């Protein structure tokens, strides 16, 4: 009888240790695994963490007159890509001025869509998904023009790893999305 009680206590102890180890592992993973951030307050830190050649076109600070700024930042994990986007509205004349400025810098542009659409087009280019959108489809609506600042790729290339950067502008909504990606 005494042996059964000792065995029960032993098994409960082992089960408790296994359960505690499992919970510790899950909590550690959740706390250390990279995750997407939407904190507009961390904009300057995120911008500082990216190479200047990819985020040099981003504003130094979010303008004080920015309307409803939204941010999406993912630092990447293992071979998973990283991305950084800031989206906000501005008065009409400022959006038009930015559109004129960035139109002169682009190498190619697309109307609506996402990175997969743009990359797979004839003479396409890698762009981005719409990480800062409100409805989470990943695609830019047709009122956005996605302006790419990267060199055009040879038509025979098939990228496995690379970078892209640019802006997406909706003159209709008076919004701009600055973006940079690395994969």
Please give the chain's pLDDT, 183 residues, in tens. Answer: 576 777 778 777 878 888 777 776 656 545 555 678 889 999 999 999 999 999 999 999 999 999 999 999 999 876 668 999 999 999 999 999 999 999 999 999 999 999 989 988 888 888 999 999 988 888 999 999 999 998 876 655 556 678 899 999 999 999 999 999 998
For the chain, the domains span 1-33, 40-182
Residue from 51, 40, 112 nearest 73 by CA: 40
Question: And the tokens for 138?
Answer: 């990943």
- Which residues on adjacent β-strands are paired with residue 113? 140
Question: And the tokens for 128?
Answer: 């981005």
Cα–Cα distance, 76 to 54 (Å, whole number): 15
């Amino acid at each position: 009888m005494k042996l059964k009680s000792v065995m029960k206590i032993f098994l409960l102890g082992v089960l408790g240790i296994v359960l505690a180890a499992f919970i510790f592992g899950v909590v550690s993973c959740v706390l250390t695994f990279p995750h997407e951030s939407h904190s507009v307050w961390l904009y300057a830190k995120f911008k500082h963490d990216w190479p200047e050649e990819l985020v040099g076109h981003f504003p130094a600070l979010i303008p004080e007159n920015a309307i409803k700024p939204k941010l999406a930042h993912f630092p990447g994990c293992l071979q998973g890509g990283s991305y950084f986007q800031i989206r906000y509205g501005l008065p009409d004349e400022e959006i038009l001025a930015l559109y004129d400025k960035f139109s002169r810098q682009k190498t190619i542009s697309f109307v609506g869509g996402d990175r997969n659409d743009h990359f797979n087009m004839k003479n396409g280019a890698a762009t981005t998904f719409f990480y800062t959108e409100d409805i989470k489809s990943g695609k830019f609506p047709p009122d956005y023009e996605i302006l790419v600042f990267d060199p055009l790729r040879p038509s025979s290339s098939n990228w496995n790893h690379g970078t892209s950067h640019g802006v997406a502008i909706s003159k209709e909504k008076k919004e701009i999305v600055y973006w940079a990606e690395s994969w």
